[in-house]
Amino acid sequence: MARSVESALTSCRSYAFPFLLVAYLLFILVGGAVFMVLEQPEEDSLVSEVRGLRAGFLEDHPCVEESSLDELLRTVLSAGKRGVSEADGEEYNFDFTSSLFFVTTFLTTTGYGTTIPLSDEGRVFCILYCLVGIPLTLLLLSCLTHALLPRVTHAPIRHLELYWGLSHNRAALLYCGVLALCTATLFFLLPAFALSLLERDWSFLESLYYCFISLSTIGLGDYLPGRTHSQAARQGLEFATSCYLVLGLVVLLVVAESFWQLQQVQALVRLFVGPRVSEITGVCLDELTGDPAAQVSPEEPRYTLPISTISHPIPAASPSVEETLSLGKPHVASYEKTASLIVHPEALSDLPDQND
C-alpha cells in the first residue's frame, strides 16, 4: 500500500510542472473572456454616447464641417494620449516635480504612460537612462530588502519562538499573516481612503484600484492624482506619489521574501520543480566535496594534528613484552603534548617537520 501511494505521488510530481503551464494558460484565457464579457457592453455604450454627441453637435452647428471636427477630435485625443492637454497653459508635464515623478515611474517600472518624451532627444535619453537606472533601482531595492529582512522578519519570528513557545513554522505563519494585514492597511486601505478625500471625483474603490495598480507596477495610467487641482497641489501629490511608490515597493518586496521563506511555499515549489533544484540550507557546500582542506578556513587555526605527527611511530615488527611495556611512556607523552597544543595552538610552529 505504501509503495503504491509513493508511486502515485511520484507520477503526480512528474506531471506537476506541465499541469502548471496548462493551468496558467487557461487562467489567461479565462481572464480575457471575463474582461470581454464585463467591459464590452460598457465600451459599446460609451461609443454610442460619443457618436450621439458628435451628431448632435453637427446638427446644432451646421457651419462646422464634419471633416474639420473629426480632425480636431483626432488631434486632441492624440495630444491627450501623450500627456498634453488643452489647458490654459498653467499646467506642465515636464517641470522639475513632474519630471521627477516621470523618472520615478519609469525606474520603478510602473510607467503610467500618460506622460511620455515628446522629442527624439528625450526618447534617446530615456532609453539610455533606463538601461542604467532600472538595474540600479532593482539592485538598490534588493539590497534594502536583504538588509531589512533580519530586523523586520527574522528577529520577530525568533521572538515568537523564544517568548511564545511556538515552533518556527507556526511563528513564521503567524508573523507573515500579521505582516500582510499591516501592509494591506498601511499601504492600500489608508492611502485609498486619503485619496478618496483628496480627489472628490474618486470613490474609495477607484482609489484602492489606483493604489493596487501603482504598487503592483502595472501602471495603467487611467487614474492619476492631482489632475483636477492647482499646479502647486498637483506637484505636491506627484512628489508624495513618488515617495509612496519607492517605499511601497520596498515593503512589498520584504513581504514577498518573507512569504517565500515559508515551508509551505517551499514545499509547493518543490512539488512543481522537484526537490533536486531546491536550495540546500544549513550545509556548507565545501562539506559536500569531501575536501578536508576546503572545509577549514585558512584564517582559522587548527587545534589538532594527525596522530602520526604527535606520537612516535610504532615498529612494524611484533614487539617483545618489554617493548610493549615501554610503549606506554611515549603515548603518555604524546597525549600530554596533544593537550598542550589544544590549549596553546601557537606551539604548533615549534613542532619538528616530518620530512626532516
Q: Per the structure block, which three cell numbers stand in for 94?
A: 515636464
**Measured distance between the N- and C-terminal CA atoms of the chain, rounded to whole angstroms:** 66
The dihedral built from the CA positions of residue 315, 320, 322 and 325, taken in this order, carries a sign that is positive
In this structure, of 39-53, 81-95, 253-267, 336-350, the range with the lowest mean pLDDT score is: 336-350
Give the pLDDT confidence score for residue 352 in this predicted structure.
52
The pLDDT confidence band at residue 339, using thresholds 50, 70 and 90, is very low
Averaged pLDDT for residues 319-331: 45
CA distance linking residue 131 with residue 13, whole number of Å: 40
Give the pLDDT confidence score for residue 275 in this predicted structure.
62
What CATH class does 87-276 carry?
mainly alpha
The pLDDT confidence band at residue 65, using thresholds 50, 70 and 90, is confident
The pLDDT confidence band at residue 330, using thresholds 50, 70 and 90, is very low
The pLDDT confidence band at residue 85, using thresholds 50, 70 and 90, is low
The pLDDT confidence band at residue 290, using thresholds 50, 70 and 90, is very low
Q: Per the structure block, which three cell numbers stand in for 260?
A: 517565500
CA distance linking residue 158 with residue 143, whole number of Å: 22
User: Could you state, in order of their start, the residue ranges of all structural domains in the chain?
Assistant: 1-64, 87-276, 302-346
Q: Angle at which helices 263-273 and 231-260 pack, to 10 degrees?
A: 70
Percent of the chain whose predicted confidence (pLDDT) is above 70:
70
Averaged pLDDT for residues 253-277: 83
> Is residue 235 within 8 Å of 95, Cβ to Cβ?
yes
Residue ranges of alpha helices (H) inside the chain are: 2-14, 16-60, 66-81, 96-107, 120-149, 155-164, 168-184, 190-198, 204-215, 231-260, 263-273, 285-289, 292-295, 307-310, 321-326, 328-343
Would you tell me how many other CB atoms lie within 10 Å of the CB of residue 17?
13
**Tens digit of pLDDT for each residue in 144-195?**
999 999 999 999 999 999 989 889 999 999 999 999 999 999 999 999 999 9
| Chain mean pLDDT for the chain | 75
DSSP 291-328: -HHHHS-TTSPP----HHHHSPPPPSSPP-HHHHHHTH
Q: What is the torsion angle, in degrees rounded to the nearest 10, for the CA atoms of residue 112, residue 118, residue 119 and residue 122?
A: -20
Would you tell me how many other CB atoms lie within 10 Å of the CB of residue 273?
14
- Whether the per-residue pLDDT at 325 is higher than 50: the answer is no
Give the pLDDT confidence score for residue 354 in this predicted structure.
47
pTM of the predicted structure, to 2 decimals:
0.63
Give the pLDDT confidence score for residue 347 in this predicted structure.
47
Look at residue 167 and give its three-state secondary structure: coil
